[in-house]
Amino acid sequence: MGEDHPDADLHPEATGLAAATVKAHSAEHPLKLHSGWFCPFVQRVWIALEEKAIAYQYIEVNPYHKPESLLKLNPRGLVPTLQYDNKPLYESTVLCEFLEEAYPNYAPQLLTEDPYERARTRIWTDFVTSRIIPAFHRFLQHQGTDGLEVKRDELLGYLKQFTREMSPSGPFFNGPEFQLIDIIIAPWALRLWVFDHFKGGLGVPERGKGGEDEEVWGRWRMWLEAIEQRKSVKETTSDREHYLPIYQRYADDKAQSELAKATREGRGVP
């Protein structure tokens, strides 16, 4: 895309704790993560790399000024793109599973060996991609007040459905261990504050005020607090102020990312 792309004027690099992570992975390395610091799909893969302490090189890309080096690897020019032995791989969920399979001796294990649990992880990964993320964007990009409550209730309903599948004891989805399914949804959970800023709040009840849903929202809060305190999550998150202009464009329904356009056209995650 050209220099005049409307989304191209964004903060050029990671900030806060994420900036230190970028600096620690700036040296040349055969495993290269082509990233956009702000992108939630990137953050999935970035968290997985940090969790497993896999050595890699971080390469910042403005996906609206696509460099030729990225287009040669991924014709769609999307991030995250992983360069592994000079071969390209992309799609964030695929990349997370690839890291688990390609680096089996790196702890922690993000997927169990149990085939049932692996299948269940894939079911709820698909739920995040096909239900939660589109509902997140339908609510964020909705204009005006007519129908806004419907969009809010849709997202809240999907979050409750997801939470009811969590182990009762927690704190993570499957229990005490931080795993792939936690990584898959974490970037969007971390960004739910955008609704307080732009859409009058998401409406998750305060502690003790959830009525008949108090138990499920209590479990959601336990999970979210554990996610927010996870070292790999904190160290791949930039300062909130720099996300604001990006999400302002979504909230105004002016963003031109592939995801924004797909949402506008009533399609799912591209």
Same domain (yes/no): 99, 169: no
Residues labelled as active-site residues: 39
List the pLDDT tens digit at each of the 270 positions of the chain.
334 455 556 788 999 999 999 999 999 999 999 999 999 999 999 999 999 999 999 999 986 777 888 888 888 888 999 999 999 999 999 999 999 999 999 999 999 999 999 999 999 999 999 999 999 999 999 999 999 999 999 999 999 999 999 999 999 999 999 999 999 999 999 999 999 999 999 998 888 776 888 999 999 999 999 999 999 999 999 999 999 999 999 999 998 888 999 999 999 898
Q: Which domain holds residue 210?
A: 115-265
Helix (H, G, I), strand (E, B) or coil at 89: strand
* DSSP state string for 20-75: HHHHHT-S--SSEEEE-TT-HHHHHHHHHHHHHT---EEEE--TTS--HHHHHH-T
pLDDT digits (tens, 9 = 90+) for 63-111: 677 788 888 888 888 899 999 999 999 999 999 999 999 999 999 999 9
171 and 210 share one domain: yes
Residues 134 and 252 in one domain: yes
Is position 270 within any domain?
Answer: no
**Do 249 and 136 have their domain in common?**
yes
DSSP assignment of 134-195 equals HHHHHHHH--SSTTHHHHHHHHHHHHHHHHTTS-SS-SBTTBSS--HHHHHHHHHHHTTHHH
Would the pTM count as exceeding 0.85?
Answer: yes
How many domains does the structure of the chain reveal?
2
Give the phi and the psi of residue 161 in degrees, each rounded to 5.
-60, -40
Q: What is the DSSP letter of 206?
A: P
Residue 108 lies in a domain: no
Residue pLDDT, tens place only, 226-253:
999 999 999 999 999 999 999 999 999 9
Q: Are residues 166 and 210 in the same domain?
A: yes
Q: What's 165's domain CATH number?
A: 1.20.1050.10
